[in-house]
Amino acid sequence: MAELVNHINRTRNTATTTTTESSEAEQHRSIGEKVLDILKIKCKHSSDNQCNMPRTHRISLAPARQAHFYAQFELTVSTVISNFLTHNERLLDAAHLSREIRAWESGVWGMFEGPAQKRSRPVDFLFPLDVQQRLLHKNCDAFAKNGAFTNRNVLVVRQAAKIIAGWGRVVDGLPGKTFCEPDWLLIERLQGAEKLIQLLGNHYLSEEVANYSTWKLQMVMEIMDAAEVDQKAQKERTEEGNEKAAAL
């Protein structure tokens, strides 16, 4: 979460060239607070003990926009994992890989009309996300021992198993996704993908998803902007209600 807030702050700072340093600092704090408010997570430096605040179920992105979010989200992560596995195929447990391939190819695609069709193996490792996650999980130790993660941040590498397991929980929840999900859930899933991509390596982003960073920032800023509009509207309604009560 902190990395995302810092990235947004740096981006806004670059765009804001006409304000003073003091006003910029205040703006930066409000930006960070807006993201944290969406998730209902208090800043570490806060003295308030409100870590158990319930998450708001604000929905800022329309169904069509959420459909775009998930299309880009799944394409990006699936592509990165496929490229990573292809590059490190020699490290995969051969027996486990064979079982996964047989299980996939033994399945069928259901047709709207006519008999089901047998599935064929996808290009490279572009399997569904759950199959990809199992391959990462099964071979995590081999990747770490053989240096597949060595050019990543050492602190991230030490958490490889935890990150991959966390990504597995995200994948488990995706079949039940809707196109009217709350802001905090979209951001948490985006953060899970961000941690996984950081572990595997940004250099595995292919040309098809080369604009990932720009898209990610755009999605978060859309949510933040919508949240700000909602907060202002709520404040205006509250003030209007107070004025009416005072007039009675």
Per residue in 189-248, pLDDT (tens digit) is: 998 999 999 899 888 988 777 778 888 888 888 888 887 777 787 788 888 888 878 877
What is the rounded CA–CA span in Å between residue 182 and residue 207? Answer: 30
Instruction: Calculate the dihedral angle through the C-alpha atoms of 59, 61, 65, 71, rounding to the nearest 10 degrees.
Output: -60
- pTM comes to 0.76
Handedness of CA 119, 122, 127, 131 (dihedral sign): positive
pLDDT for 239 equals: 81
Domain ranges, ordered by start, for the chain: 1-55, 63-239
What is the rounded CA–CA span in Å between residue 169 and residue 139? Answer: 17
Q: Which of 138-152, 161-175, 216-230 is predicted least confidently?
A: 216-230
Per residue in 61-100, pLDDT (tens digit) is: 999 999 999 999 999 999 999 999 999 999 999 999 999 9
User: 13 is written with which tokens?
Assistant: 């700072």
Per residue in 2-37, pLDDT (tens digit) is: 555 555 555 555 544 444 444 444 444 444 455 555
Cβ neighbours of residue 119 under 8 Å, at least 6 residues apart? 104, 105, 107, 108, 109
